[in-house]
Homo-oligomer: A and B are copies of this chain.
C-alpha cells in the first residue's frame, strides 16, 4: 500500500466541486469516489486473505457458486449470469480454478454445446477453509459494525434493484 495522504482526497475533491459546480453535484461525485476507493481497499484485503489458499476473490466467488450448488456443477453460462460477468471472464476464471485442481470441466450430458464446471474434493476443502478465513476477517470490513453494514446493504440493495440487477415478485 502507498503512503497515506495528509488529507482526505475525497473531501478535497468535494471542496473543488463546490467551488466550481452546483452544490447538488457534490454528493454524487463524493459517493462514487468513496465507493471506488473502498472497493479497492476491500479487494486488496480479500486477496491478501485468499492468496495463501491459491485464490483470488473472483475465483473464490465462482468456487462458492459451485460449492453451494445442488450438484456441485453448473454450466459455464449460468455462472456468468449469476456472477454478472462476461462469458469470456467465466472461461478465464474456470481456467484458473482448473489449473489449481479445484474445478473440473466436463461435457454437458444433454446439450453438447455446453460445458459443465464441477467442484472437486480439493475445491470443497479450499472453499471451506477460505471461507473460514474470510469470515474470521469479517471480509475486511473492520471497523464497521453490524448496524453500519446493514444500513449500507439496504441502500445498495435499493440501488441494485433500480439498476435492473434483479427482479422479484414482491
Q: Which residue numbers of A lie inside 8 Å of B, CB to CB?
A: 1-11, 13, 16, 21-22, 24-25, 27-32, 34-43, 46, 57, 64, 68, 80-82, 84, 131, 134-135, 138-144, 146, 148-153, 155-168
Whether A153 touches B31, Cβ cut-off 8 Å, given contacts A9-B166, A143-B158, is yes
Cβ-defined contact, A140 with B32, below 8 A: yes
Q: Give Cα A139–Cα B144 distance, bound, in whole angstroms.
A: 25
Whether A81 touches B157, Cβ cut-off 8 Å, given contacts A27-B146, A41-B165, A144-B31, is no
Q: Give Cα A13–Cα B12 distance, bound, in whole angstroms.
A: 37
Cβ-defined contact, B139 with A28, below 8 A: yes
Cβ-defined contact, A162 with B142, below 8 A: yes
18 residue pairs of the A-B complex, CB under 8 angstroms, read A4-B167, A5-B81, A5-B165, A8-B165, A9-B82, A10-B153, A22-B135, A27-B150, A28-B149, A32-B139, A34-B153, A35-B35, A35-B39, A35-B152, A40-B84, A142-B162, A151-B155, A152-B155
Contact of A141 among B32, B42, B43, B138 (CB under 8 A): B32
Distance (Å) between the CB of A21 and the closest chain B CB? 6
Q: Give Cα A43–Cα B85 distance, bound, in whole angstroms.
A: 13
Q: Give Cα A152–Cα B147 distance, bound, in whole angstroms.
A: 13
Cβ-defined contact, A37 with B84, below 8 A: yes
Cβ-defined contact, A158 with B144, below 8 A: yes
Distance (Å) between the CB of A142 and the closest chain B CB? 7
